[in-house]
């Protein structure tokens, strides 16, 4: 039986039609011998999945999420560190995050996850923000 965090990585990988990266890049290498980064295999993104008993940013946003849900509105929490603009954290409801990642990933096929993800990545970057 999978550990819960491995099952979480597999679930997220399935949303984008990919697979989890065994050993999270520490010993896992691509066909070219280069180490793979991230918990999910993707040609142009490093996707990290974390599963924790409690996450302070999510806990901080939970009340606002509940208020938005009560009003029938979509909740998006946006957090960044003071004085730092290199990373932001988006807090999305589970189903909304899943929908976004599924749209990015497309539908699974018999191709390898790497070739599927590469093709989707090319589509995304070639559109420059425009819908197909």
> In the chain, which ranges are E strands?
77-80, 88-91
Query: What's the pLDDT at 108?
Result: 45
Of 100, 9, 14, the C-alpha closest to 51 is: 9
pLDDT tens profile 74-131: 999 999 999 999 999 999 999 999 999 888 775 444 445 555 455 555 555 454 444 4
- What residue ranges do the domains of the chain occupy? 4-127
Q: What is the pLDDT of residues 19-51, one digit of tens each?
A: 998 876 556 666 666 777 889 988 778 889 999
Q: What is the SS3 string spanning 48-81?
A: CCCCCCCCHHHHHHHHHHHHHHHCCCCCCEEEEC
Q: What is the mean pLDDT of the chain?
A: 81
């Amino acid at each position: 039986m999978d550990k819960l965090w491995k099952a979480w990585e597999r679930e997220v990988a399935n949303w984008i039609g990919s697979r989890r990266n065994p050993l999270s890049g520490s010993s896992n290498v691509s066909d070219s011998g280069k180490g793979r980064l991230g918990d999910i295999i993707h040609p142009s993104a490093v996707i990290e999945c974390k599963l924790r008993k409690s996450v302070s940013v999510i806990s901080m946003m939970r009340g606002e999420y509940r208020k938005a849900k009560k009003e029938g509105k979509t909740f998006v929490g946006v957090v960044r560190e003071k004085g730092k603009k290199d990373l932001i954290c988006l807090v999305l409801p589970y189903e909304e995050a899943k929908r976004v990642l599924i749209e990015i990933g497309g539908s699974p096929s018999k191709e390898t996850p790497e070739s599927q993800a590469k093709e989707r990545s090319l589509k995304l970057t070639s559109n420059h923000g425009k819908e197909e």
